[in-house]
Structure formats: C-alpha cells, structure tokens
Amino acid sequence: MLMAKRDYYEVLGVDRSADAAGMKSAYRKLAMKYHPDRNPDNSEAEQKFKEVNEAYDVLQNDDKRAAYDQYGHAAFEGGGAQGGGGFGFSGGFSDIFDEMFGDFAGGRSRRQTNVQGADLRYNLDVTLEDAFSGKETRVRVKKAVSCESCQGSGAEGGATPVACPSCQGAGKVRSQQGFFTVERSCPTCQGAGRVIDNPCRSCAGSGRVEREKTLSVNIPSGVEDGTRIRVSGEGEAGLRGGPQGDLYIFVSIKSHRFFGREGADIYCRVPIPMTTAILGGNLDVPTIDGNRARVNVPAGTQTGQQFRLRGKGMSVLRSKARGDMYVQSEVETPVNLTKKQRELLREFDKAGGGKSHSPQAEGFFTKVKELWEDLKE
C-alpha cells in the first residue's frame, strides 16, 4: 500500500507564504542533515533526503509552485516532477549542491583553459621629499612573461593544443558513487580540456619563462605611507596565453632626520638658544620644499611651545592644497660657560629682587610643598 505524499511545504518546514530565500535556507539545512554521506547505510535518512529534494525541486520553480498551489500533487501526476524514486539535479538544487558538495550529476563544466597570471607585489621605499613633490622612478621586477618561442601556447612552434583524450575537451570527468554521479576536474589536463602533444622546449609547455623587467612608475605627490599603486597588466603572464595579472606597488616612506609627518602636516623640533627664548627674536627653519621659513620667537618662549606655518606642510594627494608645518621649540640650556658668563648669570639671579622669573617651576614647587603639608597632617 502506497503512503500518501506529504505536503511539500510541510516537508521543508516552511509556510506557504515563504519567499525563495527562506525556502532555500530551510532546504540547505535539511539537505545537510539527511545527506547520504552523513548518514551511511541509513535508509530512512536516504528516503527523507529524496523527499526534501523532490519538494524543493517543485517549490523553487515559480511555475511548478503555482501549479502545486492550485492542484497539489495531482499537478505532476504523469511525470511533471521527479518522483520519490529518482534524482533530477536541475535548477536551484544543482546550484545549492555546487555550493555544499561540489559538482554533482550533470553539473556545469568549468573548463580552465587560459588561466590568468598571478598578481605581483613590489615594496618601494621613497624619501619624504619625493613623497612631497612626487617623482617618476624605475623598478626592476622579476616575473613570468609569455614565451616568445611558442607565443604563450606552450606547444612547440606555436602549434595549437589538442582536445584532451580523457575528457574529450570537457575538462571534467564523471564517476558513479552510489546513486550520485560525481563530476571532477580531469586529472590528465587539470581541467584545461586541452593537452599539448609536443611541449615547447623553451618553456617546457607552460607558455611562460622567467625574466627581469624594468618598469617606469609614477609616484604622485602627497603619497602616504602604505599607499598601494596598481600597475595594470604588469603582473605575471597567464598560463598558456591567459591574461596577465597586475603589479601592486606598496609605498613605504623613509624616516626623515628633521621632519615628522601626520597626514598632510609636518612637525619639526627646533633648538632655540636660551637668550633668544628669553629676549625674543627670529629663527630661520628649513621647509620640506627645500626652502626656508622665518619664525618669530616671542620673548619668554618655553620648551614645547608650537609655532604654526600655514601652507608649509605636505602636498595633499590629488589636490593642489598643502598641509601646515608646526615648529616645536626646545629651549637649549647653555653649556661650557666661561667664568664671566657664570658671574653674569649670578648677577641676573640677584637682580630679580626675590621675584621669580620661572612661573612654571614656582607653581610646581608650591604644589609639592602643599602636598607635603597635607601628608604631615
């Protein structure tokens, strides 16, 4: 006695209003759960797997689903849909199984005849001055290029490769495993679908030889550390005439002896003589463009004080704008003083009449004294 077929929506565990995404998600979970590879020698799991497959095969197709919604299982009596005894790997079922388990029974052939060449990476060190102004530089890259002897075909004399005798040019071979037909890349041609009877002697049939090539590369002004520059088509040559990959140049900015950089701004620490810091004056400082800029140092300047020079910083990538330059003062304490200089400094200290000329130091030691008093209490 034949058992009545279960409702397809019930089989997948979804509502009749379920959309395609919800149906696909439910199907994937059930297919993984009852797959024969996970349930060997389990006839019940095998039967449920067939049932899930049959239900999804109908419901994932808009026309079949509409017919099923109107007439139920009667819509497919006479062979409209695959019955419970067979597997039809069509439509969405094949797509999903390609994702989960690879190509099964009649899956699409994915021949790889001309494989694209690999991308290459080149690390380029540039100075901060070059990053500011930009420059054209030459780099030497060792890479695989198309073989001139065979024009990249891999065959002696540039002959055309012939169809693989194992897969008849399909690039895939099939084998039967239980009730599955499994499709794999052809081991003879590695999925290319073609073989070479007489390989090129220069490249041993690969269609490529290794050479060193000199390239001209433009470094744009304002380039930053870690910037990646793509040079299209200058990667390795493709296998047997395949398209070339790309060359990616990664820029690294060298440290500078004077300047530090943060984005488009330049920072420079400048030692200032004590007398200039006390009395005030002018200083000439170098700039990244190779010129000089004058900084007005006000009287009483302290270490760490910054002076901003607008528009004297780095170039901005793909822009005519420039950042700013910040000059940070470092008041320098004199050394190797003469006897006369020491005497003058002592006179300077006495001439203060007990007044402090170092407000930061006075404030600091006042706070320290208050701290000690608090600790005594």
Q: By mean pLDDT, which of 43-52, 192-201, 259-268, 310-319 is the weakest?
A: 192-201
φ, ψ (nearest 5 deg) of residue 183: -110, 130
Q: By mean pLDDT, which of 189-203, 265-279, 348-362 is the weakest?
A: 348-362
Q: What letters, b where the CB count within 10 A reaches 16 and e where it falls short, cover 251-267?
A: bebeeeeebebeebbbb
Specify the DSSP element, H or E, that contains 98: helix 91-101
**Selection from 7-21, 201-215, 277-291, 362-376 with the highest mean pLDDT:** 277-291
Rounded alpha-carbon distances, angstroms, from residue 98 to 48, 70, 94, 335:
20, 31, 6, 79
Sign of CA dihedral 288, 294, 298, 302: positive
* Mean pLDDT over the full length of the chain: 81
φ, ψ (nearest 5 deg) of residue 123: -95, 120
- What is d(CA 377, CA 373) in angstroms, rounded to the nearest whole number? 7
105: number of CA atoms within 13 Å, CB side?
16
Structure tokens at 316: 């901005």
Q: What is the DSSP letter of 221?
A: T
CB-based contact 93:87 (threshold 8 Å): no
pLDDT 10s digits, 138-154? 999 988 888 888 877 78
pLDDT 10s digits, 287-337? 999 999 999 999 999 999 999 999 999 999 888 999 999 999 999 999 999
DSSP character string of 167-213 = TTTSSEEEEEETTEEEEEE-TTTTT-SEE-SSB-TTTTTSSEEEEEE
DSSP character string of 224-257 = -TT-EEEETT-SPPPBTSPPP--EEEEEEEPP-S
CB-based contact 331:272 (threshold 8 Å): yes
Domains of the chain: 8-101 (1.10.287.110), 120-161+196-253 (2.60.260.20), 259-332 (2.60.260.20), 339-376 (no CATH)
φ, ψ (nearest 5 deg) of residue 38: -90, -10
Instruction: Check: pTM over 0.75? Answer yes or no.
Output: no
